[in-house]
């Protein structure tokens, strides 16, 4: 006789993003900056730092930057490698071109946070 099937449960279902900031400079411990809204174009990094409401174990976190329906940057990490705060250094292979970008953070397929920023010449 086989044992009954066990339901799989992932405790990450209740995890959310407490804060997300987009900046020209990396996050410094103890100083929570306001998000920048405009960035220069070119081969410069843009820093996305986020704080989660708990620790992840069995999900993936994805950060995407989208311009006019095209994903220009994507970062994906297993939840068990995420730290709080987590900083993502965003820089597309061809650099940032002028335009308006939507930054979206997903926990697995769940769209958790959306923010916009502008890249200017």
Would you list the DSSP string of the chain?
-PPPPPPP--GGGG--EEEEEEESS--BTTB-PPPP-EEESBS--EEEEEEESS--SS-EEEEEEEETTEEEEEEEEEGGG--SSEEEEE--TT-BPSEEEEEEEEETTEEEEEEEEEEE-
Q: Which fold has domain 11-120?
A: Immunoglobulin-like (2.60.40)
pLDDT band, very low/low/confident/very high, at 12 (cuts 50, 70, 90):
confident
Question: The pTM is what?
Answer: 0.87
| 64-89 per-position pLDDT tens digit | 999 999 999 999 999 889 988 999 99
pLDDT at 28 over 60: yes
Which pLDDT score, from 0 to 100, does residue 87 have?
95
Which pLDDT score, from 0 to 100, does residue 34 have?
85
pLDDT band, very low/low/confident/very high, at 13 (cuts 50, 70, 90):
confident
């Amino acid at each position: 006789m086989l044992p009954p099937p066990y339901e799989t449960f992932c405790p990450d279902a209740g995890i959310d993003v407490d804060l997300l900031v987009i900046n020209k400079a990396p996050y410094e411990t103890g100083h929570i900056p306001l998000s920048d809204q405009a960035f220069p174009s070119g081969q410069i990094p843009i820093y996305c730092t986020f704080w989660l409401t708990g620790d992840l174990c069995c999900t993936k976190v994805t950060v995407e930057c989208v311009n006019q329906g095209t994903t220009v940057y994507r970062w994906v990490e297993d939840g068990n490698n995420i730290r709080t705060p987590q900083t993502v250094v965003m820089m597309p292979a061809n650099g940032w071109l002028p335009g308006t970008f939507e930054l979206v953070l997903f926990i697995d397929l769940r769209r958790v946070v959306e923010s916009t920023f502008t890249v200017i010449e």
